[in-house]
Every structure is written in C-alpha cells, then in structure tokens.
Amino acid sequence: IHVIGDSCIADVMPKSGYSANTQAKVVAAQILHLLRGQDPEEPTWSNVCFSRVSAEYGVSVGGIYRLDPDSGKIISTKGSGGVSPLDASHQFNRLEALYQEAWMENFVADSFG
C-alpha cells in the first residue's frame, strides 16, 4: 500500500501541494522498481512553499527530506532549505513572486496535463 499527500504521515514534511507532488513521484519510481524486480531506492523528497503577497512580492520556505534509517521516519536533511530573508531586496521578493507563478503553472501542467 502506498499513501501520498494529506493522507500520509509525512512526519516533518509540510502538508503542501509541492510535498504531495514530490511524494507521488517518489512512490511512482518505487513502484516501477518493484514491478521490475529491483530493490527500491533510498527516497528523498523536496518541498517549497511559496506565498505570493502581491504581484511583485513573494516569499518562500523550502527543505529537503530523507528517510531516517533508524526510526523509519521522514526527517529534514541537515543544512538544507531555508526561508526568504526578512531584509531581502525588492528584486529578490519580485523573483520569489515570479518563481511562485512559474511553479503554479508547472504544477498544474504536471498534475493535470
């Protein structure tokens, strides 16, 4: 049984569309390995949550996640991820808004064709 998105217990991973999309891709790859008689690969996941405050102002928080071999839980990869700086320039926040727009277009195309 493979569970993704809001239905799964993803430990420290945020409940977001980005997380669910990444989880779906990891599950699809693992299922392909199993169907081919191969061992599953060590999974890694990523997440970025974009918040578009206005047309010219965006912020984000992101991270990379992996499976802890001892606990079997998803944990944050040390040193990965971060948040938009509070003192970011206008250009930085403008780019974050553009990244959010591009991510949404790609997410919709990836999810729904």
This prediction has a pTM of 0.83
Provide the number of structural domains found in the chain. Answer: 1
pLDDT digits (tens, 9 = 90+) for 26-68: 999 999 999 999 999 999 999 999 999 999 999 999 999 999 9
> What's the pLDDT band for 3 if we cut at 50, 70, 90?
confident
Domain containing 38: what range?
A: 5-112
Say if residues 64 and 12 touch (Cβ distance below 8 Å): no
Give the span between the Cα atoms of 43 and 11, in whole angstroms.
14
pLDDT digits (tens, 9 = 90+) for 61-110: 999 999 999 999 999 999 999 999 999 999 999 999 999 999 999 999 98
The token duo for 10 is 């993803």
Give the span between the Cα atoms of 15 and 30, in whole angstroms.
21
Give the span between the Cα atoms of 18 and 10, in whole angstroms.
13
pLDDT at 5: 67
The CATH number linked to 85 is 3.90.760.10
